[in-house]
Structure 1
């Protein structure tokens, strides 16, 4: 499976830290900010990051929503008002600290207003100062939903004090059309270097959102070319792109001479360069890492050790790390599909889904734990979803056949499963689901996508009946799982389904439940309301949970200060990693 997924926030940090401590990446008192292996990191040398066959889909900060890319960009070339430190301590590692701002912000009106002052000594890669207006412009880009597709704009749609139009989306349409510009200009204002955000409802954990996502990062209006900037990088961090990013190949990052280390409390920027390489299979990456010779010695990756090579992990010694991730994998029936508009067809799919076979095909219990909700158990508010908690792990083929008999779709019921492919493991797992579905009477066509994935399934008219998704909470709240995935009002447009890949529309009943959960000021009571929404999603079979992912990583023997970013998603923390010269 591909693990190019969106990020965890502060959830399960304690569990992650404990896991890493037992696997070679635990906490220590060195200067590398949260656990290391391979010796103390120092300046110099050339590091390599192997992306593999799962290409970067966006470097545009407002469009990024994949955990790997959010993690790497935020440690190497993008900075925010506030950020999370490099620390494995469960409390310290999940507490925002100032980054491009002078402090962690001032909250007013019980969280309905937030103010930050931008430092006056920070610059873009071309030497231009970073201004309040750059932050305002960056936020404005989220509203151009016909151009800036794929990011977490739903949070601004939900909170920012901008009225909703007839299309149930904000009446402001972004900086390119400037329709409703005056509405945005009231909600986000600049006075000197101080930016003020005004929300329609309290948002007390707004700094966590800024720290863990990129959608509120600054952006240069004078350099904005819309969608043409998808792989353009306008750096304000320690590295800048040398030349251009080549999709499918990668790019090289060199030192940004206009980054001032004294202004940055987080990024150590040890290597002289970071060479990002796309294209190798997981098997090819790990054959190199196990051999630990040549370039592999200076390499880190977010690709997982393939099950076919798991038996050799002991060869790597302390270069092996295992982390229980915050991600839940799931599949979704497409509500735009003629087949799955029928509730009986969706019920048949649920009953025919063999989660045990999926896990076995993916490597077994060293790689996955069974899931009974799209919400990770580490998220406050999690409850087992009643629709899946008592479902046999191997499914119920006979009950599935009975439900399929009631399905109005022409028989045999043909379905296309579009998934993130390109690796033997992902193809085996897809085949395992196909076998269970076909046993119940479906005829399943497998449709693996290799180079890009989310940019395809986020098209409302995409040709699939079932698709795959992977999700981790954006920060420690069930409210960063349910509405980003299933609130149709903030996801569904003519150009994109946002993160609602199955094009689910819950209608007035679900919308009312979501609004009531948002309006609940008590966090525990709100969590109960979100869990009720999750139960309703289960009744509608808006999704089918599969498993909780376990990460298995190796790194090269000449990588120093190796640490995993347990505060965000368990990936390698490039802020503190170095290599031998």
Structure 2
């Protein structure tokens, strides 16, 4: 999944996906909205979530693919058939438990067919019963690739037994067009409250996929507004949105009276409200958290501490948490760019990339560790990509200049670097890359996107030559990194590149290698095949690895039961957090 990212802890990472860096907060002069005397573990009060300057791009469950949003939504408003428990044990924390289903699913054929029975005592926020048909409809929305953009639909395209058409995409085009509806109806079936998913090949870790992501969540057909549903929240969790979500400002979640804790073993739902605030810069958030002022006493954040605050950690040592995340940051040459159609130009960029300068500008070894693959080392079967093993962390300027001389692009080679910017740290890091690239002979234009990011770079015709990405395994498998990012058959459409932000097309050789890795049932042998695909990506310079992200967080002194989901994403676990006064 993308970042706002997922975790890397000592063990495994879960989801991925696409990191959206976000930060928010309230002003110091706002009065506290918490009252009462709530001891640790007690219900009541208002918790604050500082969501930062990187705004939420989707609340639509089928479009979500950012670790922060997946984490928050799954703890507050959305439930699925199964979920991960609130546990930091590396095994227990990544083992699904029943949520809206009566069990964790059954399969009698090694994972080609999965069945789940929906509980008969769970409801939507308006009191309507959650049905098998709601789950079927939620799955169907993934196939509307011209409307439901940005999510992890590629997994269904790969596994679900829906035929592929001449365009290389599923014959089913989603519930709005209904083209190929009969094909989908054979693949996902309902028998009373029992839903069955029919796969074209075995998917033994299907429940982990469902627990990690939100794309198989139920959805109400009668309330679906297509693209206009992007910020609509139809809750079946302990909280519901009060009023509307305001992009750039946020919203408030209040108790959902149609949720029953008797049906939910995961979410404690301690605060009466969760107030989400978007828009504040990271520095403004951490000034409040360090000072522990007013509402900040009741606050948590997904924003990483800016490096300029590291020397102030002793002021709040008891509220400080460091977590090694499951995310890898990387840059990608755009294969649609006239410059980077030439392999020599891409190789020159890789040789010129100074990851050491990027890391230093971002806070040094307290904030990052060098990466040598797009796969995080915590993922089982990880292997360092040989294409990047011999390039110094500082880059090789002499080799880069020599390779750039072979580049067919007009000299100087002008490139635009589009990145997730708007903060002093991200801009410093981008400037560090520019300095190294320019020293090798490129002429780099920096293009920071301060608000919406992924929705821009996921457009195949987006105007950039190089872009930034962040990813962590959707669950502990290399197969949740390589295909979601670089399998053109499931990513590239006329409207979106999915998560293949560099528009990479590996061709028959890469497609065949991916298929062979998928087909391998022995996990160790499969990991070796995935490593082989990764090596080919390195040869093609489909990406250039930068670093493994380390999370540094603070929370307010009135927050109780603070815990991070270190087994899955590294973010604050809103399922167990409360507040006191």
TM-score (norm 2): 0.95
Structure 1 counterpart SS, 2:162: coil
Cα displacement (A) at 1:41: 2.0
Please tell me whether residue 5 in structure 1 is matched to residue 4 in structure 2. Answer: yes
Contact (CA 8 Å) 1:347, 1:541: kept in 2 or not?
A: yes
Cα displacement (A) at 1:46: 0.5
Q: Deviations over 1:214-256 (max 9, x none)?
A: 0000000000000000000000000000000000000000000
Contact (CA 8 Å) 2:9, 2:323: kept in 1 or not?
A: no
Partner residue in 2 for 1:400: 400
Instruction: Write out aligned runs for 1:553-568 (5 A).
Output: 553-568=553-568
Deviates more, 1:86-95 or 1:438-447: 86-95
Partner residue in 1 for 2:202: 202
Partner residue in 1 for 2:361: 361
Please tell me whether residue 85 in structure 1 is matched to residue 90 in structure 2. Answer: no
Cα displacement (A) at 1:4: 3.8
Instruction: Write out aligned runs for 1:109-128 (5 A).
Output: 109-128=109-128
Contact (CA 8 Å) 2:301, 2:572: kept in 1 or not?
A: yes
Structure 1 counterpart SS, 2:530: helix
- Give the Cα–Cα distance (whole angstroms) in 2 for the partners of residues 500 and 171 of structure 1: 22
- Give the Cα–Cα distance (whole angstroms) in 2 for the partners of residues 14 and 489 of structure 1: 25
Partner residue in 2 for 1:283: 283
Q: CA 1:136/1:7 → structure 2, altered by over 3 Å: closer, same or farther? A: farther
Structure 2 counterpart SS, 1:325: strand
- Give the Cα–Cα distance (whole angstroms) in 2 for the partners of residues 108 and 415 of structure 1: 53
Partner residue in 2 for 1:48: 48
Instruction: Write out aligned runs for 1:10-89 (5 A).
Output: 12-13=11-12, 40-89=40-89
- Give the Cα–Cα distance (whole angstroms) in 2 for the partners of residues 317 and 464 of structure 1: 42
Partner residue in 2 for 1:530: 530
Please tell me whether residue 151 in structure 1 is matched to residue 145 in structure 2. Answer: no
Structure 1 counterpart SS, 2:347: helix
- Give the Cα–Cα distance (whole angstroms) in 1 for the partners of residues 8 and 219 of structure 2: 23
Instruction: Write out aligned runs for 1:107-506 (5 A).
Output: 107-506=107-506
Cα displacement (A) at 1:527: 0.6
Q: CA 1:157/1:11 → structure 2, altered by over 3 Å: closer, same or farther? A: farther
- Give the Cα–Cα distance (whole angstroms) in 1 for the partners of residues 299 and 7 of structure 2: 24
Q: CA 1:450/1:524 → structure 2, altered by over 3 Å: closer, same or farther? A: same
Contact (CA 8 Å) 1:10, 1:94: kept in 2 or not?
A: no
Cα displacement (A) at 1:562: 0.4
Contact (CA 8 Å) 1:7, 1:212: kept in 2 or not?
A: no
Cα displacement (A) at 1:389: 1.1
Structure 1 counterpart SS, 2:57: coil
Partner residue in 2 for 1:569: 569
Q: Deviations over 1:452-497 (max 9, x none)?
A: 1000000000000000000000011100000110000000000000
Contact (CA 8 Å) 1:84, 1:567: kept in 2 or not?
A: no
Contact (CA 8 Å) 2:269, 2:576: kept in 1 or not?
A: yes
Structure 2 counterpart SS, 1:556: coil
Contact (CA 8 Å) 2:12, 2:380: kept in 1 or not?
A: no
- Give the Cα–Cα distance (whole angstroms) in 2 for the partners of residues 442 and 546 of structure 1: 19
Structure 2 counterpart SS, 1:110: coil
- Give the Cα–Cα distance (whole angstroms) in 1 for the partners of residues 169 and 557 of structure 2: 51
- Give the Cα–Cα distance (whole angstroms) in 2 for the partners of residues 347 and 481 of structure 1: 22
TM-score (norm 1): 0.95
Deviates more, 1:104-113 or 1:349-358: 104-113
Q: Deviations over 1:385-423 (max 9, x none)?
A: 001011100000111011111111111100000000010
Structure 2 counterpart SS, 1:107: coil
Structure 1 counterpart SS, 2:222: helix
Contact (CA 8 Å) 2:52, 2:280: kept in 1 or not?
A: yes
- Give the Cα–Cα distance (whole angstroms) in 1 for the partners of residues 227 and 571 of structure 2: 28
Q: Deviations over 1:135-186 (max 9, x none)?
A: 0000000000000000000000000001110111111100000000000000
Q: Deviations over 1:294-333 (max 9, x none)?
A: 0000000000111011100111122000000000000000
Cα displacement (A) at 1:10: 9.1
- Give the Cα–Cα distance (whole angstroms) in 1 for the partners of residues 87 and 12 of structure 2: 11
Q: CA 1:481/1:13 → structure 2, altered by over 3 Å: closer, same or farther? A: closer
Partner residue in 2 for 1:32: none
- Equivalenced residues, count: 557
Cα displacement (A) at 1:110: 1.1
Q: Deviations over 1:324-343 (max 9, x none)?
A: 00000000000000000000
Q: CA 1:13/1:110 → structure 2, altered by over 3 Å: closer, same or farther? A: closer
- Give the Cα–Cα distance (whole angstroms) in 1 for the partners of residues 491 and 13 of structure 2: 32
- Give the Cα–Cα distance (whole angstroms) in 1 for the partners of residues 320 and 417 of structure 2: 34
- Give the Cα–Cα distance (whole angstroms) in 2 for the partners of residues 380 and 78 of structure 1: 29
Structure 1 counterpart SS, 2:126: coil
Cα displacement (A) at 1:521: 1.2
Q: CA 1:113/1:84 → structure 2, altered by over 3 Å: closer, same or farther? A: same
Q: Deviations over 1:528-580 (max 9, x none)?
A: 00000000000000000000000000000000010111122110000000001
Contact (CA 8 Å) 2:77, 2:239: kept in 1 or not?
A: yes
Contact (CA 8 Å) 1:188, 1:198: kept in 2 or not?
A: yes
Cα displacement (A) at 1:5: 3.0
Cα displacement (A) at 1:11: 7.9
Structure 1 unaligned regions, length at least 5: 16-37
Instruction: Write out aligned runs for 1:516-555 (5 A).
Output: 516-555=516-555
Partner residue in 1 for 2:512: 512
- Give the Cα–Cα distance (whole angstroms) in 2 for the partners of residues 400 and 535 of structure 1: 20
Cα displacement (A) at 1:195: 0.0
Contact (CA 8 Å) 2:7, 2:324: kept in 1 or not?
A: no
Contact (CA 8 Å) 1:9, 1:212: kept in 2 or not?
A: no
- Give the Cα–Cα distance (whole angstroms) in 2 for the partners of residues 14 and 302 of structure 1: 17
